[in-house]
Each structure stands twice: as structure tokens, then as C-alpha cells.
Amino acid sequence: MSEAIEMTIDGVAVTAAPGQTILQAADAAGIYIPRLCAHPELTPFGACRVCTVKVNGRPQAACTTPATKGMVIENDTAELLEHRRSLIEMLFVEGNHFCMFCERSGNCELQALAYRFGIDAPRHAYQFPERSLDGSHPDVFIDRNRCVLCARCVRASAELDHKHVFDFVGRGSHKRIWVDAKERLSDTPLAVGDRAVGACPVGAILRKRTGYATPIGKRAYDRQPIGSEIEAARAAAPTAKGS
Amino acid sequence: MPKTRTAAAPRKGAAPRKTAAGPKAAAAPAPAPQTAPAKPRVATCSLAGCFGCHMSILDIDERILQLIELVEFDKSPIDDLKRFTQRCAIGLVEGGCCNAENVHVLQDFRKNCDILISVGECAICGGIPAMRNTIPLRECLEEAYIAGPTVHNPSNRIPDDPEIPRLLNRVYPCHEIVKMDYYLQGCPPPADAIWAALTALLTNRPIQLPYELLKYD
């Protein structure tokens, strides 16, 4: 039961611990699988599908699929990169992502993925949906224009803060993040230090009065693509396992 | 991805403009196996933009002397030429399309340029002007000319002079109006990105921007 699980990712032998997902095993092995909704401290959710890999030829979300013995996983292939790129482009056109004035720009995981994939312009038409804001809370605001429905705030609030401030309402293209209160964010027990606030990968839930603190050039993804830190771990410990 | 540049047509005697900083022995090595007597022509325009991208073009600093060695500017706010004088190799388009005139100018650029580049966020996604896209046009105009808290407009009319270009229902990215060949992201795109793209195209190399130069802000 507790023995190591042998599998391969793009032909590289990877050993997973029992209970690990494909994504966790890949991270531990220094192989970056792009992801957006996955968060190391939160229950896997499988919302964004950016981490889709092929397991024995079938597409699966790496964040929700447990690693099992003998899996043959494809990750860095032209086909999967194209799928992921397309997903990221769709996320951009489905919302109103005005990077040029967003406080999160430079530290945004969606933007960082687009940089990593070298997206110069989405191939789909922009939808410019009408989305609402909630500035009622004294220290935190919600800007649904930027929301990518990753459910990190939902999970972080329930699992880490034990408050359940956020949840989804609506279906399909009407799905949006909402607060578990009568009406507004200020009606919830959300505190500015809650993990749910920091869990947002984009600029949809942000602390007020903290924007633009880091100068351009020093932000998280100004110089290094997202995932570099995971890949650096592999480069630092070369040929340790497998071969 | 490398595009072939069908270089500019043989020069007619016309071509006015360009006084300052004429041919000058550029100190830095000119990066080009430049051939024909006729330099490729470059046109630029600002549609629904703020001219920030044009500022970024000028921000290539002294490399503008090299650029002038490489190209001839045609219709552009930089030399104030209002009409195309000849077919152009490259058109740089700043801003998206918010009114009928923008569409007309953009189509004119498509007709007269071999390669069109969307320069900056507004050309690529509509940018700041596109923030009105979620608000009905009538509401925007009423807020601006009638109901806004600081509006002084005794006539109580929304300007409707036929000289004023008609606004579109929303702001459109350039590639939703005509085919665009390349995109330079940024608000504005870094001068280095503009320089890299122009010199690549002028020397028949593919545009390859390093990671640091692909930025959306």
C-alpha cells in the first residue's frame, strides 16, 4: 500500500508517493504542468482544465487524477500545449481583463500563463460581458470582471478560514462568484487577513489600498515565466532518479 | 511565420518630408543587408488610442537615426502626412476602432500596407476605450453630455454634427475589423519590442521577442 508508484511523464521516469495526484508527483519531480485553479494547500477542484495531460492516451486533469502504477503521461506535447493555450485565450475573452490598469498585473497567474505560452493576441472574439463589483467591505473588494471561476476563494474560505464566505451562483455563462450573506461582502465575516483573499490567482479579490506596490520589473512574473521555480528544482538536482 | 516583404514600389519623385536627422553616419552598426535604392515605407496611425504607443515608437531613442536609414515614413502623425503617397511595407496601428472614421482609416491601412501590426493593448483588445463596451452607447452619451454631475450643456443635446464621426455600438479590436498580421502587446509596448519587430521584418527574419518584452501592461 505504501510503496512508491512508478510512472513516466514525457518518457521521464517519475516516482510518486501513494496518495499523490499526477500534478503533485510532477511538481516533486521538477516537471511543471501548467495550472490555474490548483493550489498546493487546497483540495483539487478541476475547474480550469489547464493542467490537462494525457494519461495512457486519454485526457485527464493532472490536479484531480491520482497517480497510479505504470501510468504513461504526456505533458509537454504540441497538442496539449495548443489545448492549454486555447483555454487561456478563452479565459481572456470571456472576462474583462484590462491588464494595463489591474493591480494584479505582473503577479497575476492568468497573465503569467499567457506570457509563458507567448500569447500575443487571443484568436477568439472578446465578449465584453457585464460583470458586477462589490466594494462594500472596508478592506477587500471583488471585481468579477477579472474572475476566472477557479474556486480558490471558495475552497480557501471553507477549508483554511472555516468561514465559507464565497460560493458560486448561476450556471453556464451566468456562473459567478458570490458571497454567503444577504447581499454584500460587508455582510460576511470576511477579514482582510483571511487566506481566501490571498488565494485569488487573478485580480478578482484584492485588498484595498495595496495596489501597484511592487515596481515594474520586480513583480513575480516580470522576468521569469510561471513554473520556473518548479523546473529549477529539477535543474538543480539533475539525473537523480530514473535514468 | 516569416513573412515575405514585397518591398515598396519604385519611388516616385514625390515623397516630401523628413528634414531633421537626415542621412547621418549612424554611429552604431546598421543592422541590415539593406539593398534596393527605394527604402521600404512605414505608415503609422492612432485610432482610438492615446498616442502613448507613438511615444513608445519615439522612445527607441537614437535608434530612430538607424530607422530612418532603413525606412521612409509615409502617412503618419510623425511626419504629418495625411494621405498615403505610395504602397507601404509596414503599417503600425495604435488604438482600436470606436467610430466610423477609425474603421475607414484602418481599412485604408489594410489596402495600402503589406503588413499590418496591432501596436498596444487598445489595438489588440480595445483597451481603456473598450471599458464602455459593457454600457449601452446611449447611456454613455447621456452621461457625458446630459446627465453627468459636472456637465454644463444648456442645449441639452448630444452633439450630432454630421462632421463628427459616428460612434460604433462598441469599441472593436483591430483584428475584428481587418486582418492583422502581427501583435505587439503592452500599454505601451516597450520601445525595444517595437524596435525588435521592425528590424526583424525589415531584414526578413521572424519576430522573436524575449520573455521580458511580452508584457500586457
Instruction: Kindly determine whether residue B128 and residue A98, on different chains, have CB atoms separated by under 8 Å.
Output: yes
Average pLDDT of chain B, as a whole number:
87
CB burial of residue A231 (10 Å; 0-12, 13-18, 19+):
middle
Residue B95's alpha-carbon distances to A181, B117, B186, in angstroms, are 42, 11, 12
Give the pLDDT confidence score for residue B38 in this predicted structure. Answer: 85
Instruction: Kindly determine whether residue A120 and residue B176, on different chains, have CB atoms separated by under 8 Å.
Output: no
Q: For residue A114, list chain B residues with Cβ-Cβ distance below 8 A.
A: 216
Give the pLDDT confidence score for residue B19 in this predicted structure. Answer: 36
Mutate to test the interface with B, among A90, A91, A93, A98 (most CBs of B within 10 A): A98
ipTM of the prediction: 0.90
Q: With 0.95 as the threshold, say if the pTM is over it.
A: no
pLDDT per residue of chain A (243 residues) written in tens, 0 to 9: 568 999 999 999 999 999 999 999 999 999 999 999 999 999 999 999 999 999 999 999 999 999 999 999 999 999 999 999 999 999 999 999 999 999 999 999 999 999 999 999 999 999 999 999 999 999 999 999 999 999 999 999 999 999 999 999 999 989 999 999 988 999 999 999 999 999 999 999 999 999 999 999 999 999 999 999 999 988 776 554 444
Specify the 3-state DSSP secondary structure of B205.
Answer: coil
pLDDT digits (tens, 9 = 90+) for B132-149: 999 999 999 999 999 999
What residues contact A222, with CB distance under 8 A and at least 6 apart? A106, A216, B212, B215
- CATH for B41-130+170-213 is 3.40.50.700
Count chain A–chain B contacts defined by CB atoms under 8 A: 67
Give the pLDDT confidence score for residue B165 in this predicted structure. Answer: 96
Is residue B20 pLDDT above 60, yes or no?
Answer: no
Task: Write the DSSP symbol of residue B81.
Answer: B
Which of A58-72, A199-213, B7-21, B30-44 shows the lowest per-residue confidence on average (mean pLDDT)? B7-21
- A128 closest CB neighbour out of B133, B184, B215: B133
Q: What domains appear along chain A, each with residue ranges and CATH number?
A: 1-128+213-238 (3.10.20.740), 130-207 (3.30.70.20)
Q: For residue A220, list chain B residues with Cβ-Cβ distance below 8 A.
A: none
Give the pLDDT confidence score for residue A237 in this predicted structure. Answer: 67
Give the pLDDT confidence score for residue A225 in this predicted structure. Answer: 97
